[in-house]
Amino acid sequence: MAARKKVTVIGGGMTGGAIAQRLVEKGIADVVVQDDPQFAGSLHHGKALDMMQSASWLGFETQVTATDGWEETAGSDVIVCTAGAPRKPGMSREELLNGNADIVRAKVTDAAKASPNAVIIMFANPMDAMCHVALKASGFPRERIIGQGGALDTARYRAFLSMATGVSVRDVHAYVLGGHTDTTMVPIVSQARIGGLPLASFLTPDEIEAIVARTMKGGAEIGQLMKVSSAYYAPSAATVEMVEAILLDQNRLIPSAVLCQGEYGIQDIVCGLMCQLGAGGIKKAYESPVSDGEADKIRAAADATKNLIADLK
């Protein structure tokens, strides 16, 4: 019997815990939650034990454990890095830059040493810039450092379109490219379809514009409502879809942040593209057909990330 796959989740906070729970219940991999007791105490150990005690009723055979170190993470197939400070209400993702860069740099360096063949999915904000930190810290190729922002932003975009039209979200085919900030994400309108029909068949231009604006502020809206934390239900669901696509070699097309190599004229800057995810990470990154205005916004998102990278210490 082949050994189960292994996923390490770095960071045992609300998002890390939710990712671990969703993964264990899917039964596709054992999960190790890694965190620093200096900051997390024994919280990640408690969460792992609590999850394992749910197995008798939920019926999963996969294992979830917690560790303060890295030995237990060795040989991971996928590593999800949620480490870093979350956004507080009113805070931009950019404000987290250098503090989170220090954390990500240290965590990714250790994780990559323990699992040199892993795919790393970046969650920490500002996510596009943190992908650059992870690329440098790990030495991994572009295919194995992936930002999850596009998957999350796409989930929000589709949800808002479903809510506005009254059509099942399963029939909403729309996606978000560009950056993962309130000002640089690009919800694509030109190619969005609901049951194969363009958005204009359901919504007025003003209604579409309002949904685009709400999508771009989707994380901030959740933060303002929750008060004491940032989102974790939708982020964990989006991330687990990516992990599953990689572990099971599903060849899924999921908007993901990747180091661009000429797409939309962008070179060596991480930006959100439509990517095919499967074994080994990103199998192919696509330059999706978009309007001229949307392409300009995607390039502007890359420029904004380039400016953030210049501010890294």
| Whether residue 288 sits in one domain with residue 213 | yes
For the segment 63-100, what is each residue's pLDDT rounded down to a tens digit? Answer: 999 999 999 999 999 999 998 776 566 655 567 788 88
Of the candidates 149, 178, 208, which is a domain's last residue? 149
For the segment 17-60, what is each residue's pLDDT rounded down to a tens digit? Answer: 999 999 999 999 999 999 998 877 899 999 999 999 999 999 99
Using an 8 Å Cβ cutoff, are 125 and 96 in contact?
yes
| Whether residue 107 sits in one domain with residue 179 | no
| Whether residue 137 sits in one domain with residue 155 | no
| Whether residue 59 sits in one domain with residue 33 | yes
| pLDDT given at position 39 | 77
**Is 180 an annotated catalytic residue?**
yes
| Whether residue 159 sits in one domain with residue 95 | no
Question: What CATH number has the domain bearing residue 127?
Answer: 3.40.50.720
Pairwise CA distance, residues 138 & 211, whole Å: 37
> Where in the sequence is the domain holding 113, given as residue range(s)?
5-149
Of the candidates 95, 121, 149, which is a domain's last residue? 149
**What token pair was written down for 189?**
């309108």
Question: What CATH number has the domain bearing residue 191?
Answer: 3.90.110.10
| Whether residue 198 sits in one domain with residue 119 | no
| Whether residue 142 sits in one domain with residue 32 | yes
Residue showing tokens 């197995």: 55
| Whether residue 266 sits in one domain with residue 117 | no
| Whether residue 183 sits in one domain with residue 140 | no
Comparing 75-89, 127-141, 234-248, 297-311, the range with the smallest average pLDDT is 75-89
| pLDDT given at position 91 | 59
| Whether residue 236 sits in one domain with residue 129 | no
Pairwise CA distance, residues 134 & 109, whole Å: 8
pLDDT band (50, 70, 90) for residue 219: very high
| Whether residue 248 sits in one domain with residue 298 | yes
| pLDDT given at position 83 | 87
| Whether residue 157 sits in one domain with residue 62 | no
Number of domains making up the chain: 2
Of the candidates 149, 166, 201, which is a domain's last residue? 149
Using an 8 Å Cβ cutoff, are 130 and 22 in contact?
no
